[in-house]
């Protein structure tokens, strides 16, 4: 079950022009995965963007760019046991 407080906190954290560091992003993904917040991870996959190793909610589009999809795909591949639970667009080369 999605915790409203956790969702609100996560979206507030990422809804910033400076975003969070790459290390913080991966730690956040690990925390959400360990907490069973797969719905929130899926929601983030459609909204997150990155630049200069900073991760933030994109204000331009609800569709992730190819770089973001690759970042989330790499994280999910690292978490093989849980990656299949997240709807991450994969390239046709996979």
| Digit-coded pLDDT (tens) for 25-34 | 999 999 999 9
Whole-angstrom Cα distance, residue 25 to residue 88? 16
Instruction: Kindly tell me if the per-residue pLDDT of 55 is higher than 90.
Output: yes
Domain range list for the chain: 4-83
Whole-angstrom Cα distance, residue 18 to residue 22? 12
Q: What count of other Cβ atoms lies within 10 Å of the Cβ of residue 65?
A: 14
Share of the chain above pLDDT 70, in %: 61
pTM: 0.60
Instruction: Kindly tell me if the per-residue pLDDT of 80 is higher than 90.
Output: no
Task: Give all strands of the β-sheet with 20-21 in edge-to-edge order.
Answer: 20-21, 54-57, 48-51
- Look at residue 51 and give its three-state secondary structure: strand
């Amino acid at each position: 079950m999605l915790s409203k407080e956790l969702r609100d906190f996560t979206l507030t954290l990422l809804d910033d022009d400076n975003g969070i560091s790459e290390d913080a992003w991966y730690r956040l993904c690990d925390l959400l995965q360990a907490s069973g917040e797969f719905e929130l991870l899926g929601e983030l996959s459609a909204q997150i963007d990155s630049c200069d190793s900073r991760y933030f909610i994109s204000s331009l589009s609800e569709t992730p760019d190819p770089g973001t999809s690759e970042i989330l795909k790499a994280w999910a591949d690292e978490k093989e046991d849980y990656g299949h639970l997240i709807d991450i667009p994969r390239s046709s080369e996979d």
